[in-house]
Amino acid sequence: MKFWLPEACSSALDIAWLFLTRVAGRETLAVFVSGLMVRMQSCDIYFSIKERGEWFAVDYDLVVLGGGPGGYKAALKAAQNGLKTALVEKAGLGGTCLNRGCVPTKLFLGATSVLAGLESQKKLKLATGQAVFDLQRLQARKDSIINASQNLMRVSLEKTGVQLFNGRGRLRGGKTVRVEDRELSFTNLILATGSESGALPGLKPDHEYILTSTDALCLTAVPRSMIVIGAGAVGLEIGQIFHRLGTRITMIEALDRVAPMEDREVSVELFRYLKRQGMDIRTGVRVKALSIDNALVRVCLEGREDLEAEKCLLALGRLPDTDSLNLEAEGVQTYGPGWIKADSFLGAADNIYAIGDVNGRSLYAHSAEHQGEYVLEHILGRDESPYDPGPVPSCIYGSLEVIRTGLGSQELTSAGETFSVSSASLAPNTIIQSHGLIQGFIKVFWVRDRVAGITGVGHGLSGLITLAQIATRERWTRKEAGRYIFAHPTLDESLREALLGPQIKNEPGS
């Protein structure tokens, strides 16, 4: 709501301002301004007062920098528990996850899954024809979903009493944060500013031909060709989206396999499937330089022939978004490219905490939320124990999905553990067969007859990740797994088969 004061009221405001600044003193003025800020921030009175003199810091029990999943949930929970809370967000509520990461990619993968499903049924000679996709309308739907989600978040913040500030926060020392021309003083501070797309020397985006993941998710026309540099989760997911839409995809990975963070057998199975779908995948290949010639991106490879495409996607991991925070003002230390050092309680300095991507521990939205909830419990004095996330769930989405939680063969071998592996093929599963995608398996890792980790690759496996995490965190035995009834027909049955299957022992060094 906006309203304007008549001239007489403006004069009255002058008198009030004179009284507050010359007679009542700084403390009363700060309280007065604080009340106006909370209740009348959209009014011209607020702006009139703000322009007349120094802006005074407003005290908060908690200030949260970053309105992504971790920061948003932490701010909500703080206000629900009676803390005077401010949330600072430089762009859109929801952070990378909602605006340019998890949500848009899953929306695009879900929408285009009809194209992949049709191709699977055509190969079984059960269907004919083609589906034509409208990328512009999909982009409009994406924007609509994001806007609606942000509006719901904003309403929730208002209802719980969280004060939202739009702008980039910067530490000033003395337990104070500056947001544009405002100052917020805090008792506790949570740093949750997330991460941004990574780059390498000589491999920089121009955002027209050489794209970040954000750029790729905003395209309104389907390119005829695209080179994807990086075959991790981001490259694999966006590569599959555009492959389904008809783009000729060439994927380049410097390491020796796609999904290099996953179990080797999982990577091999995923590689075979994507190759059969017609994607050109080149592993163990390094990119030297990028250039643009006649509206085409030229990719110069080490020891290989150059490649060209209409677009090039840089899927080179993530970097912390901490450069502009002035962390040294509060004694917050960083490592590597700017990850914040956090102790076993996620503390970065006195009453200052780092959650989510910025601490470099686990770059997942669900990890950020979990860490934020823990920090709030710690601030409230209800959890004095060190932070323990347990086995963190991980998924890669697409026609074949990858799941992982707990320890795998590489971690167990490096630790010198003796472990066993049981597994189950997905091919006999009725649900898998109905989709015409019989590739894949689930593997369970056992240490001293208890579940230490679970991984797998196959159609729809992301739906099993929470149960896999529970089995891993609770360290199920084979007997405990056998106590539960798994519904038929479901994908869950394949997880049961893997849990109850014969175990093959793996000795250290074998």
Residues classed as catalytic: 488
Cα–Cα distances (Å) from 83 to 32, 110, 354, in that order, read: 20, 39, 19
The DSSP symbol for 2 reads -
| Phi, psi of 227, deg, nearest 5 | -100, 125
Spatial CB neighbours of 383, under 8 Å, sequence gap ≥ 6: 374, 377
**CA 103 distance to own-chain centroid:** 9
Q: What is d(CA 354, CA 432) in angstroms, rounded to the nearest whole number?
A: 41
Give the list of residues 6+ apart from residue 485 with CB closer than 8 angstroms, or none: none
Distance CA 477, CA 326 (A): 49
Q: Is the dihedral of CA 298, 299, 301, 306 positive or negative?
A: negative
**Token digits for 14?**
């002058």
Helices (H), 444-490: 465-473, 478-482
Calpha distance 446→193 (Å, rounded)? 37
Interhelix angle for 44-52 vs 7-19, to 10°? 50
Whether the CB-CB separation of 240 and 217 falls below 8 Å is answered with no
Whole-number Å distance between alpha carbons of 48 and 40: 11
- CA atoms of 487 and 495, how far apart (whole Å): 11
The residues that bridge with 120 in the sheet, in sequence order, are none
Q: Is the dihedral of CA 470, 106, 92, 66 positive or negative?
A: positive
Give the Cα separation of 421 and 433 in Å (integer). 25
Amino acid (one-letter) located at 194? G
Q: Is it true that the peptide bond before 489 is cis, omega within 30 degrees of 0?
A: yes
Q: Are strands 169-171 and 176-179 parallel, antiparallel or unpaired?
A: antiparallel
Residue 358 in tokens: 């910025």
Write out the DSSP string of 17-34: HHHIIIII-HHHHHHHHH
